[in-house]
Amino acid sequence: MAVDRWSSGPDELATTDSAGSEPAILYWKAPMDPNYRRDEPGKSPMGMDLVPVYASDEDESVVTISPQVVNNLGVRTEQAQYSVLSRRIDTVGYVGYDEDTLQHIHTRVDGWIESLEITATGDPVRQGQTLFELYSPTLVNAEEE
């Protein structure tokens, strides 16, 4: 098996098998930095193996993925087609209070609540609705005078 080397431009060397069974390798590049090029296999500055660039791979507008990577990632391809998409979306959300409309009710007299109309946190309240009945000895004495 004889290996020939030839230059196809500045900084580009390629090897071809004299039998023609192997594609011509133009150069080797780093997977994470396409500007890092070498004439022979080796390691990139990040410690990754250099990837060969073949003469048939010169079209930069075409994205290609090696069959090994496709297999490792479990990539599946399918013919594009029109179809009905599911309208159900499962997601996570958080429910909170609108702080601008939150009201605090404070009595300014001593006493106790005899009946409470709102029994749970978050119950809706309408304007004019009774919230509780308050008994206050101070208010009773003031009314009797």
How does pLDDT run across 54-96, given as a tens digit for each residue?
Answer: 877 666 666 778 888 888 998 888 899 998 887 888 899 998 8
Claim to verify: residue 68 and residue 9 sit in the same structural domain: yes
pTM: 0.32
Do 106 and 59 fall within a single domain?
A: no
End-to-end alpha carbon distance in the chain: 120
pLDDT band per the 50, 70, 90 thresholds, residue 101: confident
Asked whether residue 83 is domain-assigned, the answer is no
Q: 65 lies in which domain range?
A: 3-73
Residue 95 lies inside a defined structural domain of this protein:
no
The residue among 36, 58, 73 that closes a domain is 73
Q: Is 115 left (phi over 0), alpha (psi -120 to 50) or beta?
A: beta
